[in-house]
Amino acid sequence: MRYLFCSLDSPGFLFPAIGIAHALENRGHDVSFVADSSAASLLDQVGIKRIPRGHIDGRSFRVAEWPRPFAVAIQVKHIEYALERFGADALVGQSLTLGPLLAAERCGLPVGVVGFATYLWPRSDALLGDQAELQARLVWRHSDMVGWLNRARELFRMPVYEGSCRSSPLLGDLFLVRSVPELEPAPETLPERVHLVGSCLWEPANTDTDTDTDLEEWLVEAEASGLPIVYVQQGRSFNIPSFWPYLVTALKGEFCKVVASVDKMTCSQGEVPSNFFVRDHIPQCKVMQFTHVVVSSANTTSFLGALTAGIPALFVPAGGEQHDLAHLAKSAGVGSVLSPYELSPEVIQDEMERLLVVPSFREKAQLFKAAFARIGGFDRVVDLLERMAAGQPIMRSVRG
């Protein structure tokens, strides 16, 4: 089979797509990518073909422009240009790539969609009891995204969608949630096209930090110190106050060691304390084996990094899927959640001490580590994509 991947330019989208593509290649399938020109170097490095936007290449699949109708139209044209050069049997998109949904319909191809670490849309069209407030937020999110999709459909004179949430066009033919049944509430209530497939985490093997002796030496010394090691991933703040300055004040000193990845941070780093090791990007796989607590905004990558490594976390959600994932972590007993509007160094210190001292956080995180290991991850995704491309049944018939 031949699969055309359609990926946004952010590592949070591009990296798992590459991991899935490699798993398909290992089964003997052919893969190619349509992605922004900024992804060309990495795709070439990992041996995956990127098809340009046209005879004259240009920008496309930029995460900052994901809902804009003309940006979606560019995605569609990029995909159709690629299909003329790579006769794909199926498309693989992402929850924020609307172009593959339209292109699949126009070209008569099945499309699988790789989602976040939880299902972000309503499972029912009704507002239910004490979940009414949450349901209303999910309904609004789905309605907003379908609205953007319909604006793009109008550009191609395609009829707008006005149907049920459970049969949403955003699901494609197959929708993959990067989670496990033990974490997702009531997985049996998910739409039948939705499958839980594990973390699908992937990071490039050949990066500058592979030979970063400073990082390696710091980690060895930090572990030898016997002090707790805290991994921090400060992502985009979405016009919401950053937790970084409060964290620096709270954790400076000699009671812990802090290793921080700050390439998406929008505030100033300021003066970095001596017990901190800061880089623009530090791959999770390099530090998780040393880490005692993760601190992040609860984006999918850091959320899954913590759970698959069995590490408790402190989450300060900012936007997107982060509030949903932070709520999941708190409900599962694997982490604490702080509002970005209620931060202080003292509050952060209190929560960090609780995560380090109370054993139930790590014990429950270890249970989820085992659950993610059991589900099969990439093998499970490949099985589903193979069935989809072959026209075989992919509706979920058992729990999860």
Residue 307 burial by Cβ neighbours in a 10 Å radius (0-12, 13-18, 19+)? buried
Position 289 scores a pLDDT of: 92
Domain-embedded: residue 138? yes
Q: What's the CA gap between 370 and 310, in Å, rounded?
A: 8
Domain-embedded: residue 398? no
Are 256 and 309 contained in the same domain? yes
Are 178 and 29 contained in the same domain? yes
- HSE (side-chain half, CA atoms, 13 Å) at 159: 3
Domain-embedded: residue 287? yes
Tokens of 154: 């109008």
Residues 274-315 pLDDT 10s:
999 999 888 898 999 999 999 999 999 999 999 999 999 999
The domain tally of the chain equals 2
Tokens of 97: 């790539």
Average pLDDT, the chain: 92
Are 168 and 266 contained in the same domain? no
Degrees to nearest 5, angle at CA 175 with 203 and 42: 25
Are 245 and 114 contained in the same domain? no
Length of the chain in residues, anyone? Answer: 400
Are 235 and 328 contained in the same domain? yes
Position 400 scores a pLDDT of: 43
Are 170 and 66 contained in the same domain? yes
Question: Is 244 within 8 Å of 238 (Cβ atoms)?
Answer: no
Predicted structure pTM score: 0.93
Neighbours of 78 (CB within 10 A): 25
Q: What's the CA gap between 95 and 320, in Å, rounded?
A: 12
Tokens of 54: 């046209």
Are 190 and 216 contained in the same domain? no
Domain-embedded: residue 37? yes
Domain that holds residue 225: 208-373
The enclosing domain of 35 has a CATH number of 3.40.50.2000
Question: Is 260 within 8 Å of 277 (Cβ atoms)?
Answer: yes
Tokens of 223: 């572990």
Domain-embedded: residue 395? no
With b meaning 16 or more CB within 10 Å and e meaning fewer, what string describes 275-285?
bbbbbeebbbe
Domain-embedded: residue 276? yes
Q: What's the CA gap between 243 and 234, in Å, rounded?
A: 8
Domain-embedded: residue 397? no
Selected residue with higher pLDDT from 166 and 33:
33
Residues 135-194 pLDDT 10s:
788 888 999 999 999 999 999 999 999 888 888 999 999 999 999 999 998 899 999 999
